[in-house]
Amino acid sequence: MRDFSLFEQKFNLKFNNENLLIQAFTHRSYLNENKDFKLFHNERLEFLGDAVLELVVTEYLYLNYPEKTEGELTSWRASLVNSNILGEVAGKLDFNDFILLSSGEEKQKGKARKYILANAFESFIGALYLDQGKEACAIFIEENLIPELEIVLREKLYKSAKTKLQERAQEEISVTPAYNLIEETGPDHKKAFEIGVYLDDNLLAKGKGFSKQEAEEDAAQKALETKGWNKN
């Protein structure tokens, strides 16, 4: 078992219900190898945390960028709360040191681990919300996630690969890209998707991800590279 008092010390937090904190870091796979573990996995907390995260980020953007349109703020928010950035931030915050995983999942690296970290970030926000309310969540998010907004804006990460591909395809050949599911694999809690992107029914590239949106982004990015349209 991890020493979660170290987590609390690291972030200057003290949970009233420490079980909420432990549950936030409990991956479904851990329960498969620890049948006597008394807590549930973190997926319900992840569901709650996702909503709290969106609310806090939305409120921050609304209050701090009054001149920006709804569409611009929506793009910025989507870029800031996507699994890539959440996974990177959770990694920087050493969430890896506290996640409870099966021995098999412990060996997973790369995209699979980043996805687990992103989910843990959301489930932690859900646990913090239940334990200490929205204000505590806002403080944590503004200290640890909002600083990434500078990178999002500087590198124009708010402009997704799908958006870039659609703009270039319409500009160059007057065609709108289409996305189709090629394959869906894995158990319900860890599904993987392979999606193809097509121009005029011609397969341009395939992408993979742990959600359809992530697979579509991967496919679009590869299509941009294939066509040489990834230059600004």
Secondary structure of residue 210 in the 3-state scheme: coil
* Marked catalytic residue, from 50, 105, 148, 216: 50
Give the chain's domain count: 2
pLDDT tens for 140-153 read 999 999 999 999 88
Residue 97 appears among annotated catalytic residues: no
Q: Would you say residue 167 lies in a domain? A: yes
Residue 72, C-beta contacts closer than 8 angstroms, at least 6 positions apart: 65, 158
More confident residue, 14 or 186: 14
What is the CATH number for 64? 1.10.1520.10
Closest CA to 178 of 155, 161, 195, 154: 195
Residue 6 to residue 162: CA distance in whole angstroms: 41
Q: Pick from 101, 135, 154: which residue ends a domain?
A: 154
Output Rg (C-alpha) for the chain, integer angstroms. Answer: 19
Residue range of the domain that includes 141 = 4-154
pLDDT tens for 19-48 read 999 999 999 999 988 989 999 999 999 999
Sheet holding 192-199, edge to edge: 178-185, 192-199, 202-209
Q: Per mean pLDDT, which range of 10-24, 41-55, 135-149, 156-170 is the poorest? A: 156-170
Note whether 143 and 186 are same-domain residues: no
What is the CATH number for 192? 3.30.160.20
Note whether 50 and 87 are same-domain residues: yes
What is the pTM (predicted TM-score) of this model? 0.77
* Marked catalytic residue, from 122, 148, 214, 217: 122
CB 101 within 8 A of CB 116: yes
Note whether 210 and 111 are same-domain residues: no
Distance of CA 95 to the CA centre of its chain: 14
- pLDDT of 232 > 70? The answer is no
| Confidence (pLDDT) at 23 | 97
Residue 122 appears among annotated catalytic residues: yes
Note whether 123 and 177 are same-domain residues: no
